[in-house]
């Protein structure tokens, strides 16, 4: 090996290796301080694309889970209102049965008629005031609700729920002013029986839809957890592994610095020839 002073090859080699070790140490520090294995597309372009896709889908799943909770709340509101309507219809049946007694005079039967008519009005009031999210859900103005419960544009990611109207005349067949005679009271009994069936049919839909929403929510929660786990395996740093790499890179930088310092002194050996 020639002894030269203008170009210190050993120092250049040491500098190149030290630069590489310093870059690797910087990468290790970045991963350990951020907690991520991928901090830019340069770290792993394909991995970053997959991780971002999973992250996007996870966020959409979270939104869908909120949608499902809103749907479940809608069904609960509708069912509780329908429960009150059931109680009212039951009382109306009791009044109709009492008014069907042939020994009642007109004035006495009017007592039952008045309460029957007011209860019929109360059913309409409940149907017209029961709402969720600005939608009237029992008066027939909205016949169905479609909820987005997935993360893709497909029919399987949407759920449509039928909303049966529970108003007295148009939906339940209950009319005011019918308890004016025994015949009218007997007709009211038939109407009450039919109305109870209609309300129970509606409540069956509410209950089945609520159960379906619960199942959908549980499924989305499992999917969300799996997506989060998959994203973590791609994006997050393994601290045990990164710590060992950091230690190695730290030693390499220290060794490179020491070797560079020694390489920089090599040209000084030429001075011994001038003595």
Do residues 132 and 79 make contact, with C-beta atoms less than 8 angstroms apart?
Answer: no
What is the fold, at CATH topology level, of the domain defined by 62-235? f41 fragment of flagellin, N-terminal domain (1.20.1330)
Taking CA atoms, 201 is separated from 54, 79, 86, 97, 171, in Å, by 41, 11, 11, 23, 12
CA 197/CA 205 separation, integer angstroms: 12
CA 128/CA 125 separation, integer angstroms: 5
**Which pLDDT score is estimated for 265?**
82
**Which pLDDT score is estimated for 275?**
65
CA 40/CA 48 separation, integer angstroms: 8
Q: Which of 233, 231, 252 is nearest to 27 (CA)?
A: 252
Q: Which of 168, 128, 169, 164 is nearest to 143 (CA)?
A: 164
Instruction: State the 10-residue block means of pLDDT for the chain, 275 residues long.
Output: 76 88 89 89 91 94 94 94 96 95 89 94 94 91 90 90 87 91 94 95 94 94 95 91 90 90 80 72
**Which pLDDT score is estimated for 264?**
83
Considering the entire predicted model, what is its pTM? 0.78
Do residues 188 and 178 make contact, with C-beta atoms less than 8 angstroms apart?
Answer: yes
Domain boundaries, the chain: 9-35+237-274, 62-235
Taking the chain, what is the end-to-end CA distance rounded to the nearest angstrom?
A: 21
Q: Which residues touch 91 (CB under 8 Å, ≥6 apart)?
A: 115, 119
Kindly report the three-state secondary structure assignment for every residue of 44-76.
Answer: CHHHHHHHHHHHHHHHHHHHHHHHHHHHHHHHH
Kindly report the three-state secondary structure assignment for every residue of 154-185.
Answer: CHHHEEEEECCCCCHHHHHCCCCCCCCCHHHH
**Which pLDDT score is estimated for 233?**
92
Which stretches of the chain are DSSP H helices?
9-34, 45-99, 106-129, 182-235, 239-264
CA 71/CA 154 separation, integer angstroms: 19
**Which pLDDT score is estimated for 170?**
79
CA 253/CA 273 separation, integer angstroms: 33
CA 124/CA 131 separation, integer angstroms: 13
Q: Which residue has the tokens 């007109």?
A: 106
**Which pLDDT score is estimated for 1?**
58
């Amino acid at each position: 090996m020639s002894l030269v002073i203008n170009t210190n090859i050993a120092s250049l080699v040491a500098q190149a290796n030290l630069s590489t070790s310093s870059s690797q140490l910087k990468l290790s520090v970045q991963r350990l301080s951020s907690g991520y294995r991928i901090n830019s597309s340069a770290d792993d372009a394909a991995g970053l694309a997959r991780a971002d896709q999973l992250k996007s889908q996870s966020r959409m799943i979270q939104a869908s889970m909120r949608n499902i909770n809103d749907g479940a709340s809608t069904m609960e509101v509708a069912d509780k209102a329908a429960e009150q309507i059931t109680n009212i219809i039951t009382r109306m049946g009791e009044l109709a049965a009492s008014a069907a007694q042939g020994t009642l005079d007109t004035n006495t039967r009017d007592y039952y008629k008045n309460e029957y008519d007011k209860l019929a009005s109360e059913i309409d009031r409940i149907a017209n005031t029961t709402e969720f999210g600005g939608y009237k859900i029992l008066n027939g103005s909205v016949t169905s609700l479609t909820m987005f419960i997935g993360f893709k544009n497909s029919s399987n990611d949407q759920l449509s729920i039928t909303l049966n109207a529970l108003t007295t005349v148009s939906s339940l067949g209950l009319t005011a002013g019918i308890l004016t005679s025994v015949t009218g009271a007997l007709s009211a009994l038939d109407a009450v029986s039919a109305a109870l069936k209609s309300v129970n049919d509606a409540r069956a839909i509410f209950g089945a839809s609520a159960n379906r929403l619960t199942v959908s929510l549980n499924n989305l929660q499992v999917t969300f957890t799996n997506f989060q786990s998959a994203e973590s395996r791609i994006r997050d740093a393994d601290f045990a592994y990164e710590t060992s790499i950091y230690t190695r890179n730290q030693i390499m930088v220290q060794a490179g610095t020491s070797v560079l310092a020694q390489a920089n002194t090599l040209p000084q050996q030429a001075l011994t020839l001038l003595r």
